[in-house]
Amino acid sequence: MRRILVVPIGRVFGPWLERFLQDLSNFWQAELELARPITPPAAAFHPRLRKFFAPYLVDYLRSLSRDVDYVLGVCGEELYSPRSPIVFTEVSFSSQAALISARLLQEFLFGPEPENVFVERLRKEAIRALGHLLGLGPCSNPRCVMHPPSTLMEVDLKGTEFCPECRIRLRLFQIRRGEVRGLL
């Protein structure tokens, strides 16, 4: 069974955290460990943008544990990268780590149970992050969970499942790694 360490960064605690961990563990059939929350390293902070540098932070996560398959950071701060001033999710294939900005996903919540909207967004981005770490690329299908969002609306529009093409690709990666035998 895969082992994933989930690291809260900054102020990201809430009653939703337990539900998020359970969801993710069920989806990936993985063993999840919750790390003690950390303060984001000051070296990653850009004082003018008031954001943290995602590529640095995601590699820093791996230094927290070498014993798990993947490290997933859930960050209470906004992130930026050389590619974009707005980063929902940053993935480092070489570190086998990913980082999600919960701070961004908590904006513009709606409906009678706004927390559910937030947990659903977080779930989608966590599934996408681990999908990338397992070898999947970005998907152009706006309904597919592997679609890289550039706005919150795109996060809300996409589903929590893989499109048929991504599902087959993922299955092929699993076969190659010897985790499963057949396509079905």
Binding-site ranges for Zn ion (CB under 5 A): 139, 141, 144, 146, 163, 166
CA 113 – CA 63 distance, rounded (Å): 37
- Which two tokens mark 44? 């990653």
Residue with smaller CB distance to Zn ion, 71 or 139: 139
* Min dist. Cβ of residue 109 to Zn ion (A): 26
Residue with smaller CB distance to Zn ion, 62 or 123: 123
Residue with smaller CB distance to Zn ion, 32 or 144: 144
Residue with smaller CB distance to Zn ion, 50 or 143: 143
Strands ordered across the beta sheet of 51-53: 45-46, 51-53, 79-80
CA 23 – CA 157 distance, rounded (Å): 19
* Min dist. Cβ of residue 154 to Zn ion (A): 14
* Min dist. Cβ of residue 123 to Zn ion (A): 16
Locate all alpha helices (DSSP H) within the chain, ordered by sequence: 16-28, 54-62, 102-105, 114-133, 152-157, 164-176
Residue with smaller CB distance to Zn ion, 10 or 148: 148
* Min dist. Cβ of residue 72 to Zn ion (A): 20
Q: Sign (positive/negative) of CA torsion 77, 143, 24, 116? A: positive
* Min dist. Cβ of residue 131 to Zn ion (A): 9
In the chain, the N- to C-terminal Cα span, in Å, equals 20
Is the separation of the CB atoms in 108 and 117 below 8 Å? no
* Nearest Cα to Cα of residue 72 among 45, 87, 91: 91
